[in-house]
Amino acid sequence: MNESLDISISETSTRYFVEENHTFPSVSLGVFVKSGSRYEEDKLGIAHFIEHMVFKETKKRSSFEISKAIEGLGGEINAYTSGEYSLFYVKLLGKDIEVGFDVLSDILTNPTFNKDLLEKEREVILEEIYEFYDDPQDICQTEALRSLWGDSPLSRNPLGTEESVRSITYEDIVSYFKRFFVRDNIFVSVVGDIETHTAETLLDRYFKDFRDGSVNLKTEVAPYAFSEINFPKDTAQLHLAITLKGEKSFTHESYLHSIFTTALGGNMSSRLFQKLREENGLVYTVYAYPVRLTDTGGTVVYASTLPKYGKTVEDMMLEELDNVKEKGFSDEEFVNAKNYLLGSLVLGLESTSSRMQKNGVSGLMQGSIRTIDSIIKEIEGITKDEFDNYLKTFLESPHGIVRVGKIDGKS
């Protein structure tokens, strides 16, 4: 059941995985760095700041030349930072992928961190933070993490705060980069129209200058807080999130949990969508989703509605959770949710970029990559009895609540 694919180590000691797939015309190349908001100390947002800065200038290329090298070939180059890792990636036609290896290795080994460009990018990141906090749905989802884990590193916004981003210095950037961007702390994932030996040759050629070194990352599993958080904001809608415990990544329980979130609020046929939107017309948006980390997890059940309906919607969400706790889901709901999960798993891997990300996250965080077939078999093997028994224990958990908007309940 736990059949895994071998992770390779290049001649330069870089960990990588290549998935040849010649049904695609493209190749997606991603470099995963175990560098995210949960590993930051007082300089919150520094991993995200570095994600921006490596694109600004290298010893060989300007910012324009970096983007032009990829986009001039019809490709894509981008990056993002999460709580547990940063990903830098390109997607190109197979015939052009050497350019991708060249550019990614360049930005990750030769950034200048030009001080003038750093100050300009600081303002860009501050604009990103302001834009984020203009969106009440984004606020609600971030506050949901704080409801789950309080003020621990697990609940940090990777963007940081205005105060923390203003405090980050050139010296902070260089120090953090030298500590985290080392060979033992990265994983390279390649998927698509490329021969394995070609990818290995390019990896050795372009990643030979990556600095040697390892990082001793100390992380703690924060206890659940299940806080009640009210975030007043002048909005047309009230945004609600109920928080429950969840499951960590790469476990059998995570598949049981995904069936639960799917049946509860994962699609248009889910329990909450049908009750709150189709039957009562109280919401446009309602959904449930898992929050997954390597050592813990959570559940967020979200809805937005007019403030005057806020109490009604909140009560209905909690009532439905109580109904599931007492009676579970019907056989039909279970089968539909499991099939939806299986279909989403397969359909979600219809592109080289999605496969690259799946393989890369697993390789970096778990040290192994499971075959899709083994995951499918494991999910298919989940029975209704096992699922019902899981829910009995899972739903004994307390819950938290987040409200963003006009909290007074007036229209």
Q: Show me where the domains of the chain are located.
A: 9-206, 228-405
Encoding tokens for residue 173? 């950037």
pLDDT > 80? residue 366: yes
Do 228-405 and 9-206 have the same topology in CATH?
yes
**pLDDT confidence band for 10 (50 / 70 / 90):** low
Is residue 182 within 8 Å of residue 213, measured between CB atoms? yes
pTM: 0.94
pLDDT > 80? residue 114: yes
Q: What is the pLDDT of residue 216?
A: 85
What percentage of the chain exceeds 70 in pLDDT?
Answer: 97
Closest CA to 177 of 125, 108, 126: 108
- Mean predicted lDDT score pLDDT of the chain: 94
Q: What is the pLDDT of residue 411?
A: 46
pLDDT > 70? residue 364: yes
Using alpha carbons, list the distances in angstroms from residue 161 to 35, 50, 120, 149, 165. 17, 15, 17, 18, 6
Q: What is the pLDDT of residue 384?
A: 98
Domain 228-405 - what CATH class? alpha beta
Write out pLDDT tens, residues 276-287: 999 999 999 999
**Region 336-349 average pLDDT:** 95
Q: What is the pLDDT of residue 410?
A: 56
pLDDT > 60? residue 1: no
**Region 231-244 average pLDDT:** 96
Beta strands 369-370; 86-93: pairing state: unpaired
Report d(CA 321, CA 394) in Å as an integer: 11
What fold, for 9-206?
Cytochrome Bc1 Complex; Chain A, domain 1 (3.30.830)
pLDDT > 60? residue 158: yes
Name the strand (E) or helix (H) holding 91: strand 86-93
Write out pLDDT tens, residues 52-64: 999 999 999 999 9
Name the strand (E) or helix (H) holding 118: helix 115-132
